[in-house]
Amino acid sequence: MAPARTRADRPLTPAAQRVLDVAGDLFYRRGINTVGMELVAEQAGVTKKTIYDRFGSKEALVVAYLRARDARWRQWVTDAVDAEDDPVRRILATFDALAEWTDRENERGCAMVNACAELADPDHPGRAAARDQKEWLRGRYLELAAELGAADPARLADTLLILHEGAVVGRSVAELPGAIATARDAAARLLAAEG
Amino acid sequence: MAPARTRADRPLTPAAQRVLDVAGDLFYRRGINTVGMELVAEQAGVTKKTIYDRFGSKEALVVAYLRARDARWRQWVTDAVDAEDDPVRRILATFDALAEWTDRENERGCAMVNACAELADPDHPGRAAARDQKEWLRGRYLELAAELGAADPARLADTLLILHEGAVVGRSVAELPGAIATARDAAARLLAAEG
DNA sequence: CCACCACTATACCGAACGGTGTGGTTATGC
DNA sequence: GCATAACCACACCGTTCGGTATAGTGGTGG
């Protein structure tokens, strides 16, 4: 995973890294709009000036937060998929990866979905970051569907993505603790019918 | 559908109804946290005093917004389901209802999911409103699964709910225009395997 | 007639928001 | 030896936030 960078595309200074870590935690747990830059600065042991010197704006910090989190997530899923050989098990590994991910991270659902909810402006670059993550996962599913030799790889990829996203919402909003297992199970049945 | 009510559980005054309509539109399109009471008052042609006299607080207005929207949604789904006779078609009618709903309402996803993203406090009554909606839909699916004579109605209901929620996210965040059709299709295949 | 209700208009509150400017300290590297 | 980068502390900007207070208007029902 390439290290995160700021506006001038230079590696993060130590203080900037602390800011990004703190912002990631606060934005996710309390919401982007309800967390002020003053709080981020205080929690990171940094002045607001430093944040604005390194990131330029709150919007840019939000985007950096989403990109960094996305990078972590992609690595997490990639590692889980790469640990398996069988095409079916590689696909199902994404659901296991999600289960473990949501076990350690808290019960606040998908950061990208939450960001889209908070960033109403359709041109906000944070929305593009969220879309990119979903597009990436769909692309992974598309590759895996091709590996499997699915009759309609695109349809299968879309369906898997929908099950994946639905599981996250089912768990966090509908408060179904077994949502991810249920989605995995449905995916397994669809794959059995496919192959 | 019972008319919405405010804190003293009395029917809404004309101005209060206007406030609720305007708030519903603004909260959904621009987000709850980014819309101030001053803007709601202005758009409704009402003073802030009137809003606070009728609703008591922003939190209460938010809850009234979510409850009213939920009531509309439940009626919409109920009507669609009631129009069909065959158990399978009754289930699939919920996806058709969703497709029509999201066609008229804009591309901002599920108001309940968005509200959960914005209301970080787990004890915020708005979160309970969101959970109640999902619980209701799951209950409907459970009834329909029983009608169908499914082998495992609970599992089927959970799976349908997951497909349903995943479709909304797939369409709004991942920007897959065919997400709802894909989810409906997956549901149809699972139902065929079930029955 | 008068009390009551719904409502308008306006001014105000303390707090927090995102963002900027000044000035000073420390550490690294040429 | 000296510039530069990275950081600190702190004061300040205008704006907006949720919420309150005051004063007054029009209509309805007892």
In chain B, what residues touch A31 (CB-CB under 8 Å)?
33, 117-120
- For chain B, the structural domain boundaries read 66-194
Measured CA A36 to C1' D22 distance, in angstroms: 34
A10-56 under CATH 3.30.420.40, yes or no: no
CATH for B66-194, among 2.30.140.10, 3.40.50.300, 3.40.250.10, 1.10.357.10? 1.10.357.10
- Report the footprint of strand C: residues with C-beta closer than 7 angstroms: A 35-39, 47-49, 52, 57-59; B 10, 13-16, 45-50, 53-54
Q: Is A193 within 8 Å of B193 (Cβ atoms)?
A: yes
- What whole-number distance in Å separates Cα of residue B10 and Cα of residue B41? 21
Q: What is the pLDDT of residue B12?
A: 85
pLDDT digit of tens for each residue in chain A (195 aa)? 334 544 445 678 889 999 999 999 999 999 999 999 999 999 999 999 999 999 999 999 999 999 999 999 999 999 999 999 999 999 999 999 999 999 987 689 999 999 999 999 999 999 999 999 999 999 999 999 999 999 999 999 999 999 999 999 999 999 999 999 999 999 999 999 876
Distances in Å between the Cα of B32 and the Cα atoms of A152, B59, B79 are 40, 10, 29
CA A193 – CA A170 distance, rounded (Å): 24
pLDDT tens digits, one per residue of B15-41? 999 999 999 999 999 999 999 999 999
Of B3 and B76, the structure prediction assigns the larger pLDDT to: B76
Contact B105, B168 (CB under 8 A): no
Span B2-16, pLDDT tens digits? 345 444 456 788 899
CATH topology of domain A65-194: Tetracycline Repressor; domain 2 (1.10.357)
Provide the angle, in degrees to the nearest 10, between the axes of the packed helices A179-194 and B153-172: 90
Contact between B158 and A167 using a beta-carbon 8 Å cutoff: no
Cβ–Cβ under 8 Å, residues B183 and B95: yes
Q: What is the pLDDT of residues A162-189, one digit of tens each?
A: 999 999 999 999 999 999 999 999 999 9
Cβ B135–A174 below 8 Å, yes or no?
A: yes
List, as ranges, residues 46-105 from A with C-beta within 8 Å of B: none
Of A17, A89, A120, residue with least CA distance to B35 = A120
Identity at B95, one-letter amino acid code: F
**How much helix, strand and coil, in percent to the nearest 5, is found in chain B?**
75, 0, 25
Mean pLDDT, all residues of chain B: 93
> Could you say which nucleotides of strand C lie within 7 A of any protein CB atom?
6-11, 16-23
Tell me what pLDDT residue A10 has.
63
Q: Which of residues 156-175 of A touch B (CB under 8 A)?
A: 158-159, 161-170, 172-175
